[in-house]
Every structure is written in C-alpha cells, then in structure tokens.
Amino acid sequence: ETFQLFRALRWKCDEDVRYGTHMVFGASIGLLFLGGGTCTLGRHPRDIAALLMAFFPCFPSVTSDNQYHLQALRHFYALAVKRRKLEAIDIDTREKVFVPVEISYDKKNILELTAPCLLLDKG
C-alpha cells in the first residue's frame, strides 16, 4: 500500500507540485526498498546527522536550484545505511547455504536463526 501511494503521488503533475516534491517521493520509494529490503537506517547520532543533511527540509523548486540544498548533501543518506542481511556461503561451491546460527546481543538475549536471515537492530 505504501509503495502504491508513493508511486501515485510521484507521477502527479500540476502547478502546485514542485521538483522538490518529486524528490521527496522518489527518495521515499528508495528508502522503502533500501538494499532490496536487506538494509535499514542506523540510529547512531552520526547516522541521524547524515540523514538530517540528506533530507534537509528546504527542497529545490526546479532542477537547477542548489541555493539551499547542495546536491552533494542529498546523497549523505548512504552514510546512515546499515546492512542487516547475514548469509552463509559454502567455501567449496561458493553457493549460499542454510545454516543455523546463534546470535547473542548480550548475555541474556540469544537469538537462534537460520542463515540467510535479517539481523535485528538492537541499538
């Protein structure tokens, strides 16, 4: 549902919709499918700082407008991306294999999963 909404809004064209609006919806779709669903955004203060710079609230009105938001800053979100996919690969065949794994986030919390899997963000 979220993807359908973003996609419909992204193609809306009238005099009230500026270039920055299209940028927001394009970025939203990109974040929704970040790394094909295998990545997430970090919560560390430096990750938050990178996201604030990337998604600065003053978006351009036309494609050539770099007055308020430098184009280079728009890509800072990549610094906040964290991979969460854990894969096991057979050393001889180089194929992905299913392997049971135990992940301990601390002494009390041990999580049993089967790789390939997505790791939880425990802060």
Residue pair 48/87 in contact (Cβ under 8 Å)? The answer is no
User: 14 pLDDT exceeds 80?
Assistant: no
User: 57 pLDDT exceeds 70?
Assistant: no
Average pLDDT of span 82-88: 91
Counting residues of the chain whose pLDDT is more than 90, the rounded percentage is 29
Output the pTM of the full model: 0.67
| pLDDT at position 12 | 67
